[in-house]
Structure 1
Amino acid sequence: MVDFEDKVAYFQAVTGLEDRDLCTEILAAHNWDLDLAIISFSSDSSSSNNPTNPNPNEFVDNSNIESSGQLNLNSWEGLDRSELTRHEDSESTVAIPATAAPAPAPGLAWKLITLPISVVSGSLGLISGAIGLGVWVATGVLSRSLGLLGLVSGSARNGDASASTPLVSLSAAASEAFDFVAAFERDYGTIRPNFVTEGFMDSLQQSRQAYKMLFVYLHSPDHPDTPVFCEQSLCSEALAAYINENFVSWGGSIRASEGFKMSNSLKASRYPFCAVVMAATNQRIALLQQIEGPKSPEQMLAILQRVVEESAPVLVTARLDAEERRNNLRLREEQDAAYRAALEADQARERQRKEEQDRLEREAAEAERKLKEEEEARERAACEAAEKEAALARRRQEKAISLGAEPEKGPNVTQVLVRFPTGERKERRFHSTATIQTLYDYVDSLDCLNAEKYNLVSNFPRVVYSVEKRSMSLKEAGLHPQASLFVEVES
């Protein structure tokens, strides 16, 4: 016992912490390894005091905790890695004011005195780490070799469900939260707050999205009041049901890294320790309530009910604002959809109108083209008819000239009568030595027949004077001294 008291006093002297119970908890969390506890505390303090804060998942040191009882309506939006804002009341312990200075660092003389111890402990730590690494590598190689040879049993290879490695790799904070929930359920049963198996910041994000506060429980396994508080208060059916209904819960052991950091950030001085937090403005976290020391289920329920009643207007307003934003967004989306539909309908109508206009223009152009073709055809036909008529007139004139003058009556002159299909008759005298072709030329010279293909035919006897007979003279053809012929048009 004397050794433990000396270690506590030595730890207080080195770290400057005045709370003896907190120093005891820190040493117990490090298995009363004084050097390890001092190194862990010093590294946590240096990393949290760094103004640049390179790790966004870490909280700032306790000197940044402010006292604030105000909740901003906009505090429920835009949460990022944050500092802590503390809100205290009569139920919780006295808060450290915002102007409180951090614990003084050890003096130079004390650092010089403890320097050999730190060097020796650091060397021993490196040696032990190297030995442990070698053992771990040798064990892994041996296990792998035995597994390949089939010498390891199925249970040893596969492991239990609780000890098996998850298929999906988890972050360090999520892994610690998962281990805490499994250990808590194993020790105290399934009637408990539904702790989120994720890191603190992810749990806070879930509470923000659910418009609820975050219930935080820091578990101290070595504290004498912890088992009774967990069994009788935290795991009571009424309290667990109320917490699950009104809060998002997160728990962590102070033996784990994130639980230890949260105990420093929340300045946990007595255990069991519970707190209620929510997102605040300026990337901070509002500490609405902290509950330190053992409490009965009734006391816990009364405190949490009061916090819920005080914070309900903020949560309701935030939820209503979010619903209004969602409704406005949905309304805008509906309006945009309606506008797009109307625009598409207008575009479709415009396309139809344009297509109809193009069709009408094409039809009009086609009709105009056909009309123009018809006019050109009529003009060509008229030209052809005029040319044909002119050709006929020239031919008639040429035929009339070729006939010469009509001979006078005489013994060698033949009188020829020609009847046309129209009933018209023409009569003329020819020399008996003239050929049948001369009769055709005579018919062609008259303006009584428009057909080009025809034959001269005699009735009694019927003789058709075709092309092969046109070279015969009238006398040879038996048409002298007179003949009566009619024109027979070829079909």
Structure 2
Amino acid sequence: MESTDIDIGDLTPVQQAALEQYTAVTGQDVEAAIPLLQRAQWNTQIAITRFFDGEPEVDPVQEALSAAAPQDTRRQETLAESLQFSRHRSRIPPAPRIVPPPNPELNYRPGFPFNIILAPFSLASYILTRVFRIFAPLIPFLPTLLARLKSQDSTRVSNRRSLKPRDTAARFIREFEEQYGSNQLPFRELGYAHSLDEAKRDLKYLLVVILSPEHDDNDLYVQETLLAPEVIAFVQNKDSNIILWGGSIQDSEAYQVATAFNVTKFPYAALIASTPNSSSSSSFATSGTGMGIIAPLSGLLPPAEFLSKIRRAMDSHMPEINRLRSEQAERNATRSIREQQDSAYDRSLAKDRERAKQKREEEEKRKQEEESERKAEEQREQAAHKSEGWKMWRAVRIKPEPSTSDQNAVRVSLRLPDGSRAMRKFEGSAEVEEIYAFVECAELLDSAVLSKEIAKPEGYDHQYPFKLVSPMPRTVYDINSQGTIREVIGRSANLIVEPIDVDDEDDDDV
């Protein structure tokens, strides 16, 4: 038995109440109860279950607690670092969740009459676009306007069929491999919204790549930057925790993402992660927001610079990611402990219900047996009462002994079960049942209470608990023997009254 040095006075009121409840149910000593309650985290239901069922080899509660305390990697910040980090936090632009329509339709293309009517406007738009492209370096806002016009124009004249997000991602990957050959870039074959949700749920980084096939730097960007061995190795490394999603500006989903991100220069990439200003609450995992662009990467970048910006953003954001992972681990551990407690409580409750059910069944069985015994006793009493009533009724109707002058009389000597003998004459014309009735009612023949008014019990069939046997040669005179006493026995006979078990006789008859 374990011993403990803990004083009961040192326990909290909650622990004292748990100890009192536990000892009241189990009857265990306090010295042995306290260590068991400590191992059960002072959960009374778990402790009671372990007392009756035994403790498991591996304690799930201790496992959950050990997993609930990950190494605290959160850095200790100074006041200046906190203020600087807060300013950096406020500059992180949000990454909205873009969900295309569930049933995308084909892009609307006007008919031939409308094309003729809209031809002058299309020509004017084309000329203005060319003019803006020439004067774009001189005016700051023209590149943004030109990019929007170009995106709208490419969307308007594109013959690409709109697909669901998953099918759009699969088409982008297929076309990317057809144009640039087989590669090891792990593009996710999911829509942007699903990729964003996965990164938020697993606390990973989402690297979004949006390409514009019509851009002059697109092919060079893909071949020298995206397909660079160091970039591929970095994205494939599991320690980087990066989910890669790509799209073409010609597709509706990628165009919506570029518009939401305010993209003004292609090719474009962005590193997205959980932002501190919206993910600190416990509802982060289910929140619809909480992702921000921590590293926008616009334009043609060498592989080294591309990776340098990504790593720098990840390093600066790592403390927040570690904090969120620690909070997530704590929530998972708390949920695991709660599930273990609920499971132990359910098992204990199920066993209590089973014990109560068995107790009810045993009580019902006992009551049924008592009821059956009571009914059987009542039946025996009723049978005995009817048997006495029948004997009194039959004793009155036994014919008197014939006179000595009756030549047809039959003399019968009876040896009774107690060893005594009885001598009597019977009318020769009477049936054998008359002798049986005489033996059965012999004690009542001289009774003064006999009266002709005694009625035969209704529904009662009397069975004689004996049989008449002639010893030499042995002959059994059955009560149902055909004929009169004179015809069956003769002028005289010595008969033995042999007791029989009525139940055994019935079984033999069956």
| TM-score range for the pair, normalised by the shorter chain length | 0.3 to 0.5
TM-score in terms of structure 2 length: 0.46
- Computing the radius of gyration from Cα coordinates, the structure with the larger value is 1
**What is the TM-score normalised by the length of structure 1?**
0.47
